Copies of this chain bind each other. A is one copy, B any other.
Amino acid sequence: MPEVRPGDDLAALLAAACPADLGDDDVLVVASKVVSKAEGCVVKLAGVSVGEEARRIAADAPGGKDPRLVQLVLDEAAEVLRAERGVIIVETRHGFVCANAGIDVSNLPGDDVALLLPEDPDASARALRDGIEAACGVRPAVVITDSFGRAWRMGQVDVAIGAAGLLVVDDWRGRSDAHGRELRATVAAVGDAVASMADLARSKDAGEPAVLVRGLSRYVTPEDGPGAAALRRPRPDDLFR
């Protein structure tokens, strides 16, 4: 894949990078960063006006934090869950709970630019799926991923923030196990597992924004489906904020 720039036709670039035998039952996993770049979700830090709250949070961070980045995080946040020791966990306006509202300042040309998450990642996934079909006549599932931390686990894993054509949640409740017993509380977050798997296949610094996953046709659907929105825990069920 070439370096992606705002306004680029990402679907066409992805289609061109896919193997000739791309199939309708394949899953194309795309890093949100490249989607944000193509969609122009880019903000110059120089143009950010920093408010009081952002200044205070930035000053509290050990080692300091760019107050303009903090302001962007607050701008993208529907709710701030925690802002301690330089860690800012928010619910984004999309409904994702993550650090720094998913804003990325690495791997960008120049020092003064921040990448926001795509405006509507499920819509982005649907558009990519349509665009790939238009480009090459094949309609794989599309998953858009980002790296999220976890409350009680070290490190980040990639999760699905957008999806089209993938059964992102596989609900086994009510089905029976091998002994005829009802399985309890077994709801597999397939979309997130696919995202994590794809991340293992690429190197973070190698400029590989997409991974093609095969062998998951049992989770691929002709319709686009509810998208990765189905992986967001609804606010009333949240025990931890």
Residues of A within 8 A of B (CB): 81-82, 84, 87, 89, 91, 96-97, 99, 105-109, 111, 147, 149-159, 169-170, 172, 175-179, 181-190, 192-194, 196-197, 199-200, 204-207, 216, 230-233, 238-241
CA distance A186 to B100 in the complex (A): 13
Q: Which residues of B contact A181 (CB under 8 A)?
A: 106-108, 111
Q: Give the nearest-CB partner of A105 in chain B.
A: B184
CA distance A16 to B90 in the complex (A): 48
Q: Are B193 and A158 in contact (CB under 8 A)?
A: yes
Q: Give the nearest-CB partner of A215 in chain B.
A: B201
CA distance A158 to B170 in the complex (A): 14
Q: Are B197 and A193 in contact (CB under 8 A)?
A: yes
Q: Are A154 and B187 in contact (CB under 8 A)?
A: yes
Q: Are B151 and A239 in contact (CB under 8 A)?
A: yes
Q: Which residues of B contact A153 (CB under 8 A)?
A: 159, 189, 192, 231-233
Q: Are A107 and B179 in contact (CB under 8 A)?
A: yes
Q: List the number of copies, as a whole number.
A: 2
Q: Which residues of B contact A187 (CB under 8 A)?
A: 154-156
CA distance A198 to B159 in the complex (A): 16
CA distance A230 to B153 in the complex (A): 9
Could you say which of B91, B97, B207, B216 contacts A178, with CB atoms under 8 Å apart? B207
Looking at the assembled complex, report how far the CB atom of A187 sits from the nearest CB atom of chain B, in whole angstroms. Answer: 4
Looking at the assembled complex, report how far the CB atom of A26 sits from the nearest CB atom of chain B, in whole angstroms. Answer: 14
CA distance A233 to B186 in the complex (A): 24
CA distance A240 to B185 in the complex (A): 23
Q: Which residues of B contact A150 (CB under 8 A)?
A: 150-151, 189, 233
Q: Are A204 and B232 in contact (CB under 8 A)?
A: no
Q: Are B82 and A240 in contact (CB under 8 A)?
A: yes
CA distance A154 to B149 in the complex (A): 15
Q: Which residues of B contact A196 (CB under 8 A)?
A: 157, 192-193, 196-197
Q: Are B238 and A152 in contact (CB under 8 A)?
A: yes
Q: List 6 A-B contacts (CB under 8 A).
A: A97-B151, A97-B152, A152-B233, A154-B187, A155-B190, A176-B205
Q: Give the nearest-CB partner of A218 in chain B.
A: B203
